[in-house]
Structure 1
């Protein structure tokens, strides 16, 4: 009888001890890792650009070179058509993307988040619209087409840590839609990410002094302000619709993030090709993050 009880006790101890070990193994590592985040409005595949010599087929190689040469790990794109996203995936081995369409008739534009599959695992994803009804496909306020934020929940494979990545494209012309989109973004980031680490990138079509950017900065840090090292590159990021040369005129592309991330650097990339042409009418913004 004593032998049977001892055997039963040993089995129970082994079972519960294994359960504890499994639970501990599933906990995220306390070690930190680094990866490079970025935002890049890649300019849609416009017929007018083909006529001016700046069509997608001309500039896509240079654009993918920027991504490779500057070693992006996770980045949000705006405006890209389905054929452009397919081209980028083909030119960037080891990357996949999560995207969602938006825009006017036909919803040809996409907000797409590209990521290195060796570094990150997608746990969840979704979308919301910048409008009075953000959970439904809709046009907001005085805008003339749909604008969205697509979000992705990632796990860092090396450490098991999780974070949210929000990819944004605000409306570009009329002011009410831009102004009201800021509070919607803040509310939805809180709702979706809660207290979890979060990165929010995109083309906000808004300069830093506007109320919508101030609303976002009340919740999230601007990588521009948080870099441990001196900022690199030019200040401004936007050249103007369909303009591929010259000086960018304002800063409307941002990387925002929660305090969970340390910002090692901040760069606006102005690489050119083919007689000083930029690969897009926006310059990409990137930061190396420690997490």
Structure 2
């Protein structure tokens, strides 16, 4: 992949988007599930291996605050994050966190929106079983001066109306952003391509897996459960503004020879190319 970080306005910026539902740190693991204290090393090493030497952003779902601290410690001091606990807008509940290297990016703007009829305050929306959020971060790439919006979400696993309405709200938010053409959306939609949220988002954004000329690697399905009998399905995605180039798209393993499932979801990677002129201040 060509990855050049120059001050000129005609150079490309290549960004690797890594997204993973890491499974929250339950104290009552399901059959086949290993406690977070053992899983965390494998989760962190996957992030490290697949982002080292690259300009990268990492979108994680189902992250409790204690898990976030564990990962930042394992990844190293040059990593930071934006996100809030969904239950209170501070530290309670799961995060849809966006992680980044402070040597690569500076945050220009950030916001959390609740996917509900009252998006400015914590709470459930429509028929959702849980509180759900959209994390929005506007990054400035330090070396090139380019901007990139990174959005991360985790839609409800039970509320069909909540998934559809949440996707509509996300599309409305995207349309309201200043210069949304350098934007990626990652996350666990809890929707397969023929279900509620996907067709709504696919009207506004391009599914990275189906981008023109994209190179594919790995599996198609992203949800596995913690056994070999659960029905596999594709519910985790990286979408991008149609003006961006998605060069590579991969679904990575979540189990190796030791037999441990790192999560009940597989990580997803998309390599996105940002072109065009640099807007400088």
Hey, which of these two has a bigger chunk of helix by percent?
A: 1
**Secondary structure at the residue paired with 2:108?**
strand
Once residues 231 and 183 of structure 2 are traced to their aligned partners in structure 1, the CA distance between those partners, rounded to angstroms, is 28
- Within the candidate set 284, 287, 290, 2:267 is matched to 284
1:176 is aligned to: 161
Could you tell me whether the CA contact under 8 Å between 2:129 and 2:159 is conserved in 1? no
Larger Rg, first or second structure (1 or 2): 1
Within the alignment, does 1:62 sit opposite 2:45 as a pair?
no
- The change in CA–CA distance for 1:172 and 1:50 in structure 2 (over 3 A counts) is closer
Once residues 272 and 231 of structure 2 are traced to their aligned partners in structure 1, the CA distance between those partners, rounded to angstroms, is 25
Q: CA deviation at 1:53?
A: 5.8
Unaligned runs of at least 5 residues, structure 1: 1-26
- The change in CA–CA distance for 1:97 and 1:146 in structure 2 (over 3 A counts) is same
Query: Normalised by the size of structure 2, how large is the TM-score?
Result: 0.86
1:84 is aligned to: 67
Once residues 8 and 172 of structure 2 are traced to their aligned partners in structure 1, the CA distance between those partners, rounded to angstroms, is 27
Greater RCO (Cα-Cα under 8 Å, separation 6 or more): 2
Greater Cα offset, 187-196 or 138-147: 187-196
Could you tell me whether the CA contact under 8 Å between 2:63 and 2:96 is conserved in 1? yes
User: What is the count of residue pairs matched by the alignment?
Assistant: 262
- The change in CA–CA distance for 1:247 and 1:71 in structure 2 (over 3 A counts) is farther
- The change in CA–CA distance for 1:81 and 1:274 in structure 2 (over 3 A counts) is farther
Q: CA deviation at 1:108?
A: 1.8
Query: Normalised by the size of structure 1, how large is the TM-score?
Result: 0.83
Could you tell me whether the CA contact under 8 Å between 1:28 and 1:161 is conserved in 2? no
Within the alignment, does 1:256 sit opposite 2:254 as a pair?
no
2:248 is aligned to: 265
Unaligned runs of at least 5 residues, structure 2: 1-6, 275-281
- Let me know the Cα RMSD of the aligned residues: 2.2
Structure 1 residue runs of 4 or more that deviate by more than 6 Å after TM superposition: none
